[in-house]
Amino acid sequence: MAEQRPHTLTRADGSTVEDPWFWLRDRDDPAMLAYLEAENAYTAAQLAPLQPLRDRLFAEIKGRVLETDSSAPVLDGGWLYYRRTLEGAAYAIRCRRPAPYGATDPRHLDERLRRPVDPLDPPDDEVVLYDQNREAEGHDFFQLGGFAISPDHRLAAIATDTSGTEVFTVRVRDLETGEDLDDVIPRAAYGLAWANDARSFLYTVPDDAWRPHEVWRHRIGTPHDADELLYTEEDERFWLGVGRTRSHRFLAIAASSKVTSEWYLLDADDPTARPRLVAEREHGIEYDLDHRGDLLYLVTNVDEAEDFKLCVAPVATPGREHWIDLIGHRPGIRLEAADVFADQLVLSERTDARTQLRICDPATGEGEVLAMDEDVYAAAIGANPGFETRTLRFAYSSLTTPTQEVDLDLETGERTLLKQQPVRGGYDRDRFVSWREWATAPDGTSVPISLVRRADVPLDGTAPALLYGYGSYEISIDPVFSSARLSLLERGVVFAIAHVRGGGELGRRWYLDGKFHAKPNTFSDFAACADHLVEQRITARDRLAIRGGSAGGLLIGAVLNLRPDLCAAAVAEVPFVDVVTTMSDPSIPLTVIEYDEWGNPGELEFLEVMRSYSPYDNVAAVDHPALLVVGGLNDPRVQYWEPAKWVAKLRTTSTGGGPLLLHTELGAGHGGRSGRYDAWQDEARVLAFLLAHIGAAEVEPTGPQVPGVGVSGDPSPADPPGAGGPPPASSATA
């Protein structure tokens, strides 16, 4: 049990609340770290009976991955860029090889150059640009925040983070010699953009609240303290980003809040250029942009275009009074992005809870949707750096189809499958079926659910199930393939995604109906989806688990307060659970920015609704399902103390039920540990916990044998000690 220390918080309405675990936010208090370590030790002890199952799950996850692999190459500036991975290496290796002289379009390349290289026999002309494994030596955590190659392809600006705080150090590497230059930027946020001179680039700097608030220009060969400040964002609701138009004509600075945007352009040919405003910010008006010829292409919600439309404006006079509709507002078709090329325009759209790509004429806006084979799928634009190309790279996936990288010839319509995600162990998609269901929310709204199961699993209420949800920021959880998920499916578990309001699956209105005062819809939608699975005999209450992370962890916490009997087990990863206290403290990273997502509890109307659903403020004396909570000590997005305080309060309040476990990663941030083997171990822990509490821990997986996993769970000679074996008899109740 965590120590309780008296602490009183005063809310905006004058009310007070006792928070005896408030002290856990003090990083300098040795008792804080001791508490987290004690919770970690307790969790490890409680999960110890599941170690054989966890070992086997890890072996399965690893065994399905082709560890030594390479990506489909991307043609850019006379080079073919790709990544390789090696068995036993935690990170990717970035490489390139020269393309034939004058090659500007992938369709003109020899077929063998378009395909991934043989990772066991790399080509003689391969150049290793960056071996992240070597760079990560000596670090428990290592993350790339940017890898921007200069326009002449001689240098790379590389942003790295070795703690999980997502504050980066930027270094510049000479790609011809492999040596780092003396140029070092000690503190940067996301975003790097080179000018065309290849001797200067833009970067952003965060303030103390982790908000990128400044844009600077660095010139190669000059000290960091000589860098030039180009823009400062004074409004604490806005953050900054930098980029380049695909045409290479402009560098861009974006100032964005959750509901408003403003852009500035700089002449990419002028290394001394100053930012030039495109269109002044206006509350509630958003726009994104790209460039072609003498026009800017703007995806915007101006003129009450709730699902957005596409406008064009002259580069010379880009103010809003000069915007002209190219593709008008189409209610029910959410325009998410427009990728502009010299001779093509590709729209990323979403309608009826599905993604779609529309290929258009950039002059007229007329075009057609790219047909796909399945009903429940996800498609997205891939890497397409060439402005003049007539080839479109896109990615396709579904709950049963491993991710594909495809090149589309825009002149002939021919599709070339470059690479499909390898799944070792003889994966057969025909053994699985995916489909869509619709649940009915309490207010009568139909809520989509994407599902997948092994085809022979009966829908008679006996199957275990896992329901996943998120439901914030207009982020859509698309139905994509996961090889790790096969360890659930092969044990007869049904996997489902609840596309609840607050996400973007059904357009901007779907998002708006799940934020601010409507936020409770997110939670009631999720509960309705869970009830639907039970009512339709897809699963049973005592065989259902739920899972969510970050804002999805808020979803899990709120739902457990509303409906503690909803399920048998739950996993909440880096959960945002102390909503009112966090949003009342502007010193915490991102708080002010988040006012446009959740509201400001300093305003009483928002305080009331936040107080009604904040998981930490609504813990009740009830039985709870088995609960595993995961946090990160260096997490800048959801502070570690939120899950820690929540678990401490649950421990003193809960009247019983399943085990309550907290694990805090002490050397990582929001995304967990950085190496792929560590990430697989962590996923195996979660899956073992879930299987144990939905009656599937002792179920033998069906299907072909996974490499590295012996028959009937016995470790094969290729396994490390303990990587297999049947779960102990006690694991179902551990």
Residues taking part in catalysis = 550, 635, 670
Phi and psi at 504, nearest 5°, equal: -115, 15
Are 214 and 231 a contacting pair, CB within 8 Å? yes
318: its two tokens? 């880009």
Percent composition of the chain: helix, strand, coil (DSSP 3-state, to 5): 25, 30, 45
How many CB atoms are closer than 10 A to CB 675?
A: 18
The candidate with the shortest Cα–Cα distance to 520, out of 245, 210, 528, 468, is 528
Are 483 and 496 a contacting pair, CB within 8 Å? no
The candidate with the shortest Cα–Cα distance to 53, out of 699, 688, 491, is 688
CA–CA separation, 40 and 270 (whole Å)? 54
Report the C-alpha dihedral over residues 220, 226, 230, 232, rounded to 10 degrees.
130
Cα angle: 470, vertex 474, 476; to 5 degrees:
55
The candidate with the shortest Cα–Cα distance to 193, out of 201, 204, 185, is 201
CA–CA separation, 73 and 386 (whole Å)? 13
Q: How far is CA 394 from the centre of its chain?
A: 18
Q: Which residues of 330-340 are buried (b: 16+ CB within 10 A; e: fewer)?
A: eeebbbbebbb
Using only C-alpha atoms, the chain has a radius of gyration, in whole angstroms, of 26
Q: What's at 160, amino acid-wise?
A: T
Q: Is 401 helix (H, G, I), strand (E, B) or coil?
A: coil
Phi and psi at 291, nearest 5°, equal: -135, 145
Cα angle: 716, vertex 721, 722; to 5 degrees:
90
How many residues would you count in the chain?
734
CA–CA separation, 340 and 297 (whole Å)? 8
Q: What's at 321, amino acid-wise?
A: E
Q: What's at 653, amino acid-wise?
A: T
DSSP string, 651-719: HHH--EES-EEEEEETT-BTTB-SSHHHHHHHHHHHHHHHHHHTT-TTPPP-SSPPTTB-GGGPBPTTS
19: its two tokens? 């928070």
365: its two tokens? 């806006």
Q: How far is CA 273 from the centre of its chain?
A: 34
Contacts with 28 (C-beta within 8 Å, 6 or more apart), sequence order: none
Are 241 and 253 a contacting pair, CB within 8 Å? yes
CA–CA separation, 426 and 422 (whole Å)? 10
Q: What's at 29, amino acid-wise?
A: D
Report the C-alpha dihedral over residues 329, 333, 336, 340, rounded to 10 degrees.
-70
